[in-house]
């Protein structure tokens, strides 16, 4: 019913536009024809949406409200698009990256970045997320912060921008490819956030960004399109020879990205993908900076519950954490898939991990996580990787019986540990935990050791914490502790998470005895 009404409106549009071009030259007819062709892929559903937006109702196979001509529908759509861009573009900024030489001075010194004549070689986009000068962008656009300066152009009035040198990076997260920068600016307009979970294929979106660095003049560029897909995977980056397993380095390699046919050129990474309500529902990533060339499809990181949680942490200067279950999983056999089965097949359960504590076994098939369907191993790790550490997750499991009987389906609950995420430079995070006597403690599963499966066979990972780092010549260093050690007890108290360790040691004065997993005991003297 709705599609047929939208088709009627589209037919009116095409008839009206064709009539308006009859008296024009062949060249103008061709141009109008191209316009109609370009619009036709968007307008069947969009024009009906616009009519509803302006109060028209459809019932009984007719437009009950006053008949709306095609030209009026197009004008209404145009007005809505213009209004949406005008309300949101003031929250989108241009970012330039300027490389330093070995002495720490800018290499690109022919024109000062603060000059209106400056043209950056490396550029990206950002979105204002706090009126006090916080700007959100993609982590990958920063590169090596020790080798670059960063400048941000903020729109003040049309065709004029104020440029600010970045004060600092508040925090970054490689797992979600997000970063928050701080600039010396006030009274900015934060971007309203929407909810990507409400998106459907075919919905109209507008992309705002800084293609090829042109937004430094004060005006970002806009393009529009539809939502093409809601679960695209980012291409996995090439691993060096001997550089570890093929495990995902980013959540988006597991299938989280919004795909849009809105044009996203080089430099639009970190821009805003907004709906027609003027809300950001995705942070754009052209991926050209990652691949080194333009790609036909555009992608955006969805503004969902995970995005909001990560953004809150980054704005506060903290690195977010993510869940770890403790299984190695693979795909079901082709025979099982042909029978209609879906899920992630558990190949190995690491001892001392949440998976082992929950009762998972080798050969189990995980079909749901928190009621979200799991179709393959990527789906399992995606749903787990969205959760914070210590989150409780409900797992739906299919288990083959010992004898040839019908597989049993049941539910398990697991309390997640913490996932290891690629380490970043200290200057990329503002909120640093204060070491205790030179000792930084982490979840045992988050140390990034390459042989965690082997470690789990000889170390009770669920009953210890790991040593992340030790300050040289500190009391912990002098006692013999080193990064990668595992601590079982503080005095006679078992410790299984960093918060508990810190609570126990902070309550003690003088020397503190620690029992390690390798059967050593060390005494940490007071500073």
Catalytic residues: 140, 177, 269
Rg value, the chain, Cα: 28
Q: Are 512 and 481 in contact (CB under 8 A)?
A: no
Which H or E run contains 169?
strand 160-173
For the chain, counts of helices (H) and of strands (E): 12, 28
Q: How far apart are CA 409 and CA 20, in angstroms?
A: 64
Alpha-carbon span 491 to 413, nearest angstrom:
31
**What distance lies between CA 320 and its chain's CA centroid?**
12
Contacts of 443 (CB under 8 A, 6+ apart): 324, 389, 417, 418, 465, 466, 497, 498
Contact criterion met (CB below 8 Å) for 367 and 374: yes
What is the Cα–Cα distance from 89 to 35, expressed in whole angstroms?
25
- Give the three-state DSSP class for 332: coil
172 close to 182: Cβ distance less than 8 angstroms: no
Residues 6+ apart with CB under 8 A from 384: 323, 324, 325, 369, 393, 416, 419
Q: Across the strands, what pairs with 420?
A: none
Q: How many CA atoms lie within 13 A of 452 on its CB side?
A: 25
Q: Which two tokens stand for residue 122?
A: 């490396």
Terminal-to-terminal C-alpha distance of the chain: 76
How many CB atoms are located within 10 Å of the residue 45 CB?
18
Q: Please state, in angstroms and rounded to a whole number, the distance separating the CA atoms of residues 313 and 317.
A: 6
DSSP label at residue 105: S
- CA–chain centroid gap for 237, Å, is 16
In sequence order, the 6+-apart residues with CB closer than 8 A to the CB of 28 are: 21
Rounded-to-integer distance, Cα 411 and Cα 421, Å: 28
């Amino acid at each position: 019913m709705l599609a047929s009404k939208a088709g009627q409106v589209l037919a009116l549009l095409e008839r009206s536009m064709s009539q308006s071009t009859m008296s024009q030259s062949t060249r103008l007819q061709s141009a109008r024809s191209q316009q109609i062709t370009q619009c036709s892929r968007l307008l069947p559903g969009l024009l009906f949406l616009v009519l509803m937006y302006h109060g028209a109702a459809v019932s009984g196979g007719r437009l009950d409200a006053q008949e709306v001509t095609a030209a009026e529908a197009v004008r209404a759509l145009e007005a809505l698009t213009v209004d949406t861009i005008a309300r949101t573009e003031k929250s989108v900024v241009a970012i330039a990256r300027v490389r330093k030489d070995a002495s720490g001075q800018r290499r690109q010194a022919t024109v000062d970045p603060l000059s209106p004549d400056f043209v950056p070689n490396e550029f990206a986009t950002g979105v204002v997320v706090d009126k006090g000068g916080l700007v959100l962008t993609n982590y990958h656009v920063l590169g090596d912060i020790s080798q670059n300066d960063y400048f941000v152009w903020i729109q003040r009035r049309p065709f004029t921008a104020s440029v600010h040198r970045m004060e600092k990076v508040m925090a970054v997260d490689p797992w979600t490819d997000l970063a928050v920068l701080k600039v010396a600016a006030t009274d900015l307009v934060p971007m309203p956030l929407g909810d990507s979970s409400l998106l459907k294929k075919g919905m109209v979106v507008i992309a705002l960004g800084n293609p090829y660095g042109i937004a430094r003049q004060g005006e970002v560029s806009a393009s529009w399109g539809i939502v093409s897909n809601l679960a695209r995977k980012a291409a996995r980056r090439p691993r060096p020879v001997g550089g570890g397993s093929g495990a995902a380095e980013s959540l988006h390699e597991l299938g989280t990205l919004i795909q849009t046919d809105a044009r996203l050129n080089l430099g639009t990474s970190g821009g805003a993908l907004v709906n027609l309500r003027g809300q950001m529902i995705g942070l754009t990533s052209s991926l050209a900076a990652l691949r080194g060339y333009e790609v036909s499809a555009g992608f955006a990181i969805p503004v969902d519950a995970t995005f909001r949680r990560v953004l809150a942490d980054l704005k506060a200067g903290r690195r977010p954490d993510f869940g770890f279950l403790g299984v190695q999983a693979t795909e079901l056999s082709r025979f099982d898939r042909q029978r209609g089965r879906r899920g992630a097949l558990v190949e190995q359960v690491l001892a001392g991990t949440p998976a082992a504590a929950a009762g998972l076994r080798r050969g189990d098939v995980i079909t749901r996580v928190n009621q979200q369907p799991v179709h393959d191993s990527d789906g399992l790790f995606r749903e787990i990787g969205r959760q914070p550490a210590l989150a409780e997750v409900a797992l739906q499991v299919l288990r083959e019986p010992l004898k040839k009987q019908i597989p049993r389906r049941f539910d398990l609950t697991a309390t997640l540990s913490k996932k290891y995420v690629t380490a970043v430079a200290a200057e990329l995070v503002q909120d640093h935990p204060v070491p205790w006597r030179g000792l930084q403690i982490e979840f045992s599963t988050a140390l990034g050791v390459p042989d965690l499966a082997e470690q789990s066979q000889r170390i009770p990972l669920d009953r210890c914490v790991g040593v992340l780092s030790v300050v040289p010549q500190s009391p912990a260093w002098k006692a013999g502790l080193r990064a990668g050690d595992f601590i079982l007890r503080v005095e006679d108290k078992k410790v299984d998470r960093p918060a508990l360790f810190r609570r126990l040691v902070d309550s003690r004065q003088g020397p503190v005895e620690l029992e390690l997993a390798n059967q050593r005991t060390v005494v940490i003297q007071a500073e």
